């Protein structure tokens, strides 16, 4: 499942925290008004449609050589991640 966010927008800073930006559906952050923050071992902002697609799913984030999330892979099992809406 590939990250559709254009390369220049794959990092963001919100409320003093740095986030990776990931979407299965949009190319630029301007297309979404209510990003959701998922705090796991990596802080990731995802759009609501991507959240609905991935919720309660164990994921493996796939990074490129520059430590940028380029994709994710669903893993067996179900979990519930901590999440909060980011202004």
Query: Is residue 76 domain-resident?
Result: yes
- On whether residue 58 sits in a domain, the answer given is yes
Residues 6+ apart with CB under 8 A from 76: 58
pLDDT attached to residue 78:
63
Instruction: Tell me if 1 is assigned to some domain.
Output: no
How far from chain centre, in Å, is Cα 85? 12
Domain count, the chain: 1
The per-residue pLDDT for 77 is 75
- Domain assignment present for residue 41? The answer is yes
Q: Is residue 2 part of a domain?
A: no
pLDDT tens per residue across span 15-65: 888 999 999 999 999 999 999 998 878 899 999 999 999 988 888 999 999
- State which residues form the domain around 71: 7-85
85 pLDDT more than 60: no
**54 lies in a domain?**
yes
């Amino acid at each position: 499942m590939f990250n559709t966010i254009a390369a220049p927008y794959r990092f963001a800073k919100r409320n003093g925290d740095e986030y990776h930006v990931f979407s299965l559906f949009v190319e630029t952050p301007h297309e979404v008004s209510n990003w959701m923050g998922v705090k796991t071992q990596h802080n990731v902002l995802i759009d609501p449609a991507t959240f609905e697609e991935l919720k309660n799913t164990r994921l493996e984030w796939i990074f490129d050589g520059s430590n940028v999330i380029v994709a994710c892979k669903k893993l067996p099992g179900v979990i519930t991640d901590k999440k909060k809406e980011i202004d």
